[in-house]
Amino acid sequence: MPERPLPQPTPETEHFWAGTRSGELRLQRCQTCDTTYFPPRPFCPECSSRHVEVFVASGRGTLESYVINHRPHPAWSEPYAIALIKLEEGPRMMSNIVECPQTPESLVLDMPLQVVWQKQNEQITLPLFRRVVASGEHR
Q: Which residues bind other proteins (CB under 8 A)?
A: 4-10, 13, 39, 64-73, 75-76, 79-80, 82-84, 92-96, 104, 109-110, 126
- Rounded Cα distance between 106 and 122, Å, is 33
Count of residues in the chain: 139
Cβ of residue 18: shortest distance to other proteins, in angstroms?
Answer: 13
Q: How far is the CB of 132 from other proteins (least distance, A)?
A: 19
> Which residue lies nearer to other proteins by CB, 51 or 73?
73
Closest CB to other proteins among residues 5, 136: 5
Contacts 24+ apart (CB under 8 A), 130-138: 130/97, 130/98, 130/99, 130/100, 131/97, 131/99, 131/100, 132/60
Q: Are strands 112-119 and 125-131 parallel, antiparallel or unpaired?
A: antiparallel
- Minimum distance from residue 119 beta carbon to other proteins (Å): 13
Output 42 or 136, the one with its CB closest to other proteins: 42
